Amino acid sequence: MKTIILTDSCCDLPLQFIEDNSDILDTIEMIFNINGKDYFDDFGKTLSHDEFYKYLRNGIIPSTAQISSYRIMQKFKKHYDKGNSLIYLPLTSGLSGTYNNAVLARNSFLEENPDADITVIDTFSASVGQGILVIHAVEMLRDGISKDDVINWLEENKFKTNHWFAVKDLMYLKKGGRISSTTATVGTLLNVKPIIIVNDKGELRSYTNVRGRKKSLRFIFDKFKEHAVDIENTIVIIGHGNCLEDAYKLEQMIRSEFTPKKIVISELGSTIASHVGPDMIALAFVGNRRENK
């Protein structure tokens, strides 16, 4: 029985990676709405990343929706009919109801198909943090590692998945209700850049504030140095909110002192960007125990 990794488009991986691994990786697209029109968050195929970020920069905040149990069950049926086994790695339950819908879909599907082999894991991760787990799972399957061992690795390492997000514009956090108007206004005047993490509940949490963009990039690089282990075998993802030059700057910081196994640079999709706005830099890697707030 062939094992397939299933994830959703909030993993924020490059489209090229998704397509190159389509034999063992499948995705379910999140849905977002702009001006009353629904779009699939399909890694920039339907609505390009540039077009999406133009909406954000013009002050339009999209709404996002969790993936329904019905759509998840359709994916389960597709792979069951092919004789495939599944490991589903959805967006954290701390930010979306997708994980709970996946559990409901699995339970319902197993009632009619008790021989189905479907595992749903709460990643407690988001965006490139979710993506780093997907990359590791895909690489392990490529190396011939069994499904059970892949699952064990994911369960053992999901809380070692470090997320460090450097947000540039406080106004998007204000519009999303994550900070007050006063905090956003004062922070903007003082050129404060919030650093956000994902905690063990899989929730976005403010970690600290840093003055200026240059210092915020330096801060998350310093956190990489603090929390990364066995760096020569570490895969790093740098996500960017339509600000590729800043992603390259962070990559250069890392490469100036370290030689990771791989650095993947990817543009952030609509789900996370709708909450934090353009120009965010995200760093994810599996290291030592993630910090909490």
Instruction: Count the Cβ atoms, other than its own, within 10 Å of residue 154.
Output: 21
156-171 tens-digit pLDDT: 999 999 999 998 876 6
188-227 tens-digit pLDDT: 555 778 899 999 999 988 899 899 899 999 999 999 999 9
Where residue 185 falls among pLDDT bands split at 50, 70, 90?
Answer: low
Question: Residue-wise over 183-213: b if at least 16 C-beta within 10 A, else e?
Answer: bbeebeeeebbbbbbbbeebbbebbebbeeb
The stretch 89-107 carries a mean pLDDT of 96
CATH of range 160-286; options 3.30.1180.10, 3.30.70.890, 3.40.50.1100, 3.10.20.30: 3.30.1180.10
**Topology of the domain covering 3-159:** Rossmann fold (3.40.50)
CA 273/CA 64 separation, integer angstroms = 10
For the CA atoms of 9, 33, 194, 226, what is the dihedral angle to 10 degrees? 0
In this predicted structure, the answer to whether residue 6 has a pLDDT above a threshold of 80 is yes
In this predicted structure, the answer to whether residue 71 has a pLDDT above a threshold of 70 is yes
Q: Report the predicted TM-score, pTM, of the whole model to 2 decimal places.
A: 0.94
Q: What are the residue boundaries of the structural domains of the chain, listed by start? A: 3-159, 160-286
Portion of the chain with pLDDT greater than 90, in percent: 80
Where residue 173 falls among pLDDT bands split at 50, 70, 90?
Answer: low
In this predicted structure, the answer to whether residue 272 has a pLDDT above a threshold of 60 is yes
Mean pLDDT of the chain: 93
